[in-house]
Structure 1
């Protein structure tokens, strides 16, 4: 048995094997190392149980490459985002932080106290893991987390306006995308939509006239993916809150993208913050976890404890509840926000949004130089504009740098197809018959994968 153990190659040797290094075109080095360690651990276990009675170097390499091939067959795959859209909905929106990913792995590789109170030794609530932390960060009395912001809005309306009227300004009857329309959400929740005002102008008196014994709530919806300018009038939160005190109607604001830091400090235009909505007196605020927050997909409802407790008891809460992976990822993301000094560095979404132009130019120059060393391709650094995406900060056009790539024997459409259909799909853009990648959304290691993908062209 000891002889078999001695035949197990070292990770450093295996990582240099030609058959294994082939997969560097498809995986990061750290991922391959992790897969090698999993295989070696399995081999040791099988030697101990005498399931393996003989072993040679080629066998080990074969086990590793087979495992790497299996991983490549998954439908949901990592892609390289060269579009410059940081919160690209089609590409999975927010890239989660290392702390969030590590916590998901830590929680999911065994059993957890998802609904178990360790202190009391009895059943607990999954909502307790996040309630105090969310409330501390945004300054609310209580909080509950569901699976996305559409669910959060629908649940809130259902809890307080079923068979009653939800009063909404016509200028806030938005469609966020993917057929998420506020009127349809209200209808599906069992409430009656009561439209007030016009597209560009809504006055407080419009809400006053619409209020009756049938009114369940005043719902404000932040138009996070578009902006109306010119001859406009909106009712402020303060005005709505004052009216609600007189009429004893619940107020709710759907903030959508959900900023909890002041983006204007980083040269973005001022975005409504969750904390500001709560301070204005709004009873309930809903927002997303995977947009400006930079965490997993989730819908977060914050506000008065009495109202949150009623939401928790609503039947739809169970239908919309989050699982342990979302809770683990969101808890780690929120912990990063408690450390204000490092949250930008630890949260990929914020880091990409706030990265300065000179850093981006240096990144683009480095990648361009690498590509120009490859036969068949030419590249140059170009100025481009990035966008936030995810229906967030629609007025923000972020100056950035990209690289244009030109093939000596492929059309621009064929080049786009070649990179998109590689083992590590590269999603870029075509503009004016030129293919380019915005380096703002390239993650660490993506440049190596792009270069290797282009080098593969010579071997096809």
Structure 2
């Protein structure tokens, strides 16, 4: 029969000087739980540890339990709107305004003029109307919510026409047919996967329909033998037949992407000018703000949407509204390109990018400078890229090297191509560059 394991009691550990730093940092309840779990684990494994070792093991547990799972990272991938990395960072002015609202009481639903209850919807509404020319505006917490709300409020138990080429699924399993089913709208598929004609709409509109839904091809392309009528022609026909047109634009561009050497991404203003009754898009894609869904369009339709019970469940909080309002201000003052990170990255000059890559190589003392491509990402401008200059490091086990980069205090996310680890200066933020170089140099030295 084996001798029983001698382990110190939890009380004796708590009363020892060894536990004082843990109690000060993590509190009594968590420390007790960590000590018990460590002691139980030792007892089950048959191992005997000293008090010092038990406290050390418990400290490791406590750090793991209390460390945040959402942390900043350095995006060296060259994907500008990287959905897995939180899409676009916020402008400094947006962050400062959100922080100011977060740490104070505010007039979220309080009218300072009348001294009575106000409406939260006003805080971004006027800027959106002024920027786009829409009659009315409403903000919800994301674009999927915007689509669901529009369909539920305006087309429940009614026919909604959607092209088969637009029956899309985007990241996270968001499918247009599923959202329509949830809203209670009756899906009517028209056209074929690759070709859609105006007469497809005309034939389907022989029966009364509440809405024509046009979903922008935001994350895929159909090429080859294709056709699709213009948004303007669709609107003219739908209005003639008494149906409204809702354009799910997705990316929410307010600036012309063609100016930067990219394909032209349809803008919010262009959709409204084509005659759509409603348009929705994301706040955290090409707009460059926090996560939000923005609905613009005819006053009477948006008013009806605002009054629907579902609108309350999908409403944005004070930080979202503060962030959207401040982001819009950069557009209103003509400073979007210089203030909003997504446009800073898109507009960054090839020479500036090349100079950064060369400077990195000189700092590290290794690597190659090669040409490459940056991607837009985030369900915007599918297949489009921008020329860039990359720092390439040749590694025997590139996957293992990437893992080391991810394990750093400020993780670096890069990519592999042809057995080389690539770093794109376009997507590394200016305030992170020194940390990036310091961390990368440390990992390279440790690797070698």
Give the TM-score, by structure 2 length.
0.83
Matched, 1:345 2:338: yes
Give the number of the structure whose alpha-carbon radius of gyration is greater: 2
Aligned to 2:286: 292
Is the contact between residue 367 and residue 447 of structure 1 (CA under 8 Å) also seen in structure 2?
A: no
CA distance in 2, matches of 1:315, 1:261: 34
After superposition, residues 305-454 of structure 1 pair within 5 angstroms as 305-340=299-334, 342-372=335-365, 378-406=366-394, 411-454=397-440
Q: CA deviation at 1:433?
A: 1.0
CA distance in 2, matches of 1:96, 1:447: 17
Aligned to 2:231: 237
Matched, 1:161 2:155: yes
CA distance in 2, matches of 1:398, 1:266: 9
1:238-266, CA deviations, whole angstroms, 9 ceiling, x for partnerless residues?
21221122211111101110111111122
Aligned to 2:10: none
1:445 match: secondary structure: helix
Range with greater deviation from structure 2 (201-210 or 434-443): 201-210
Is the contact between residue 253 and residue 266 of structure 2 (CA under 8 Å) also seen in structure 1?
A: yes
CA distance in 2, matches of 1:129, 1:204: 39
CA distance in 2, matches of 1:159, 1:454: 52
1:268 match: secondary structure: coil
CA distance in 1, matches of 2:112, 2:352: 47
Distance change >3 Å, CA 209–CA 121, structure 1 → 2: same
CA distance in 2, matches of 1:292, 1:454: 30
CA distance in 2, matches of 1:214, 1:385: 48
Q: Which runs of 5+ in 2 are unaligned?
A: 1-62
CA distance in 2, matches of 1:392, 1:453: 31
2:139 match: secondary structure: strand
1:184-217, CA deviations, whole angstroms, 9 ceiling, x for partnerless residues?
1111111111000101111122112212555220
The match for 1:147 among 141, 145, 159 is: 141
Is the contact between residue 164 and residue 215 of structure 1 (CA under 8 Å) also seen in structure 2?
A: yes
CA distance in 1, matches of 2:270, 2:296: 12
1:364-387, CA deviations, whole angstroms, 9 ceiling, x for partnerless residues?
111111111xxxxx3222211110
Q: Which runs of 5+ in 1 are unaligned?
A: 1-68, 373-377
Distance change >3 Å, CA 198–CA 121, structure 1 → 2: same
CA distance in 2, matches of 1:123, 1:402: 54
CA distance in 2, matches of 1:420, 1:402: 19
Aligned to 2:47: none
Matched, 1:198 2:192: yes
CA distance in 2, matches of 1:78, 1:106: 21
CA distance in 2, matches of 1:243, 1:202: 14
Matched, 1:113 2:101: no
Matched, 1:170 2:170: no
Q: CA deviation at 1:124?
A: 0.6
1:280-315, CA deviations, whole angstroms, 9 ceiling, x for partnerless residues?
111000111111111111110000000000000111
Is the contact between residue 111 and residue 117 of structure 2 (CA under 8 Å) also seen in structure 1?
A: yes
2:220 match: secondary structure: coil
Distance change >3 Å, CA 371–CA 147, structure 1 → 2: same
Distance change >3 Å, CA 113–CA 431, structure 1 → 2: same
Q: CA deviation at 1:73?
A: 2.4
CA distance in 2, matches of 1:381, 1:448: 19
Q: CA deviation at 1:459?
A: 7.1
CA distance in 2, matches of 1:454, 1:209: 61
Distance change >3 Å, CA 152–CA 411, structure 1 → 2: same
Q: CA deviation at 1:448?
A: 1.8
Distance change >3 Å, CA 454–CA 227, structure 1 → 2: closer
CA distance in 2, matches of 1:351, 1:157: 35
1:258 match: secondary structure: coil
2:195 match: secondary structure: coil
1:126 match: secondary structure: coil
Is the contact between residue 394 and residue 419 of structure 2 (CA under 8 Å) also seen in structure 1?
A: no
Report the number of matched residues: 384
CA distance in 1, matches of 2:317, 2:252: 21
Is the contact between residue 357 and residue 400 of structure 1 (CA under 8 Å) also seen in structure 2?
A: yes
CA distance in 2, matches of 1:134, 1:264: 23
CA distance in 1, matches of 2:337, 2:442: 36
